[in-house]
Amino acid sequence: MSSSPSTLTREAGTSASAARSVKRRPSISHILIALAALLAFALNFFALQDRDATRLVAVSAGPILAGSVVTESDIRWVPIPESFEGSSDLVFQEEGHEIGGWVAGRSLATGAVIDRSSLLAPGSSEGLRTMSIPIGAEHAAGATLTVGDRVDVISMVDGEPRYVAVDLEVVGHADVNQGALSGGSAYHVLLAVEASDALALAKAIDDGALEIIRSTGAVPVEVDE
């Protein structure tokens, strides 16, 4: 028996509609591809977020001399990547309250990172004293010493030149215009010293024969006994 035209039309229409429905329905593979693309986008987004993540660390707002107490005004905070290697020794902003009143164990230039190795706890036995050495500029590397330089001090002991203190840090000095080169008062150099160095230097100053030698970067020598 043959189908009527209306029946054929309905059947044909139904088949076309079903075909269109099948074409519009996404397959499982399409869904998986879309999910993979979304996952990749999310991972890239979070990777970029992590790459841009920063923390604020302490640097010196100005020169800080060895032996001086570090205060809030000595510190400014700068951002670094959170993943920065060696960050365990840095001082972060959220820890800033922990270093109030601490002492600089070495001189720091403006903008230098203030890490924990450069600080000494208040009252620490590792702290250094500072001592002013009056000396003619011509006997102190021609008054060319700068803060942070390392120096050795030679004195005459029993008629022989000897090292009385070595590898000391320069933490200050007179303005050369106020020193011996300009005919004014004696030039002086401020050094960070240990107790034993201070005694040896005091005797050398009393003996009146001193020579300060810049030894920055030089192989250390031993103090003559």
Measured CA to CA, the distance from residue 222 to residue 225 in angstroms comes to: 9
Higher pLDDT, 66 or 190: 190
Helices (H), the chain: 5-24, 28-52, 195-207
Percent of the chain predicted with pLDDT > 70 = 66
**Nearest-angstrom CA–CA distance, 96 and 43:** 34
For the cut 90, the answer to whether the pLDDT of residue 214 exceeds it is yes
Ranges 38-47, 83-92, 156-165: which has the least confidence = 38-47
Q: pLDDT at residue 144 above 50?
A: yes
54-120, CATH topology level: Type Iii Antifreeze Protein Isoform Hplc 12 (3.90.1210)
pLDDT band at 37 (very low <50, low <70, confident <90, very high): low
Q: What is the pLDDT of residue 166?
A: 93
pTM beyond 0.85? no
| pLDDT higher than threshold 80 for residue 94 | yes
Of the candidates 131, 59, 124, the one whose C-alpha atom is nearest the C-alpha of residue 93 is: 59
- pLDDT, residue 183, reads 44
Q: Which residue has the higher pLDDT, 46 or 220?
A: 220
**Domain map (residue ranges) of the chain:** 54-120, 129-214
> How many CA atoms lie less than 13 Å away from 39 in the CB half-sphere?
6
Q: What is the pLDDT of residue 21?
A: 47
Among 118-127, 152-161, 174-183, which stretch is predicted with the lowest mean pLDDT? 174-183
Residues 199 and 140: their CA atoms lie apart, in Å, by 20
And the tokens for 47?
């990777």
Among candidate residues 108, 182, 189, the one with its CA nearest the CA of residue 144: 189
Model confidence at 167: pLDDT above 80: yes
pLDDT average, residue stretch 190-203 = 88
Phi/psi class of residue 139: alpha, beta or left (left: φ > 0; alpha: ψ in -120 to 50)?
alpha
Question: Average per-residue pLDDT in the chain?
Answer: 75
pLDDT at 120: 79
Q: What DSSP designation does 123 have?
A: T
Name residue, tokens 């990547």.
81
Which has more pLDDT, 137 or 44? 137
What average pLDDT does the segment 29-54 reach? 59
- The CA distance from 221 to 165, in Å, is 10
